[in-house]
Structure 1
Amino acid sequence: MGLIEGTNLSEGRGTTRPFEFIGAPFINGVQLATRLNAIDLPGVLARPVFFKPAFQKHEGILCEGIQLHVVSRSLCQPVKTGLKLIEAVAELYPDELSFNEDNESKSSFFDQLVGDRTVKERIREGQIDDWIESWELPLQQFSALVTPYLLYGDKVTTR
């Protein structure tokens, strides 16, 4: 959920559930939870919540959003979940979602977090799945390369 930090969404800092609560004043939590649960993201469920951050983004303002519950650590794909969450917000609230402004390095904080300048547009165009699928072969190659060196198991968690 660290990718949320590169947007105008609250990642729940200033609450008792940072990085579990995600929301903003413009979000309808039931709508967002319904959308995310319909995507059927592996290993996670979303439920609607209200929260008011005591500091950071939307400090002192009632936010609506979701709480993410990891129901299966072995199935959960955190990066994919974060990207699909942001894509769902972009789809539901295209005029309200924004990515943090460019900084002195001429790239946005979101670009730095995700490591690619094209992802924001892919999210806005609803095409993040193609980018996610492009990781599969390199992840399989990485897993095969490092598996002989693993000390605590025989499987690399690549997502």
Structure 2
Amino acid sequence: MNEDLERPQGRWFEELPVGTVIRHRIRRTVTESDNILFTTLTMNPQPLHLDFEAAAHSEFGRPLFNSMMTLSVLVGLSVHELSLGTLVANLGLTDVTFPRPVFHGDTLRAESEVVEARESRSRPTQGVVTVQHRAYNQHGEVVAQCLRMMLMQRRPAES
């Protein structure tokens, strides 16, 4: 069997030392339909997302992309190169900020920086990794960031 097909795409705990920066390759252009669907599915009645007339009279002059979806896209952009197949569980998100607004048609890219990593005291086959995720728009401006704590698998012992 091909070992590359068996190996998870994400990184093992040992591959995430403090200071590691991953500039994720996948990008995502967010759309009006993304915004409306996410906003309505999550029961958010905010006119800044759904009412184009009201949004036109806001300080932004147009609808804002839902920040909760921006956060979800930020984390999602990291999965392939960070935690796909190696994540045990998300332990928390903290320090979430949205320094700039996101609008329909913006293209988001992400990077993740490991800011803390320690072996689990109670789970010898796992470790806890904290990353700072940052999302940038097509102009290189930070539009979202957060700290994400993850329980990650350690590299399996070779048999």
- Say whether the fold is shared (TM-score over 0.5): no
Larger radius of gyration: 2
Instruction: Judging by fraction of residues, say which structure has more strand.
Output: 2
Which is bigger in relative contact order (C-alpha 8 A, separation at least 6)?
2
Higher helix share: 1
Q: Where on the TM-score scale, by shorter chain, does this alignment land: which range?
A: under 0.3
